[in-house]
A = this chain, B = another copy of it.
Amino acid sequence: MTQLYSISDLSKEFDITPRTIRFYESKGLLAPRREGQRRIYTSSDRVRLKLILRGRRLGFSLDESLEIIELYNPDNNNKKQLKTYLEKIQQKQYALAEQLKDIKAIQKSLKEAEARCIDALAN
């Protein structure tokens, strides 16, 4: 009894157009089943879409998002590949740490600007 979704279900839930979802499919980021012509999305597809949109919010390209998503499920069989995966994972972790620094720097500047604003308003 796993949940299934139509394209408009998902487009409404995530406030994107069906076009966007189809575009992601055309780029290999999604691969829903078909029932006749219609696309049928599983809850696993839905999670994938969620992850893609999270990447989008962070300024990742679709390729980057795809790469990251694929890092979540390493193929535990191939030891050689596993090492490569591990390196990629750690590279991404480093990049994310940098991004975190950037955000915190902006937050700091905004806090200072906020304080100056409040101060000027109180005089």
Contacts and interface: CB of A to CB of B under 8 A. Distances in A.
B72 A109 contact: yes
Interface residues of A, number: 40
Q: Is the interface of A mostly helix, strand, loop or mixed?
A: helix
Interface string A81-95: 011011001101100
A116 B73 CA distance: 9
A110 to B, nearest CB: 5
A60 interface: yes
Interface string A107-119: 1011111101110
Contact of A99 (B86, B103, B110): B103
A27 interface: no
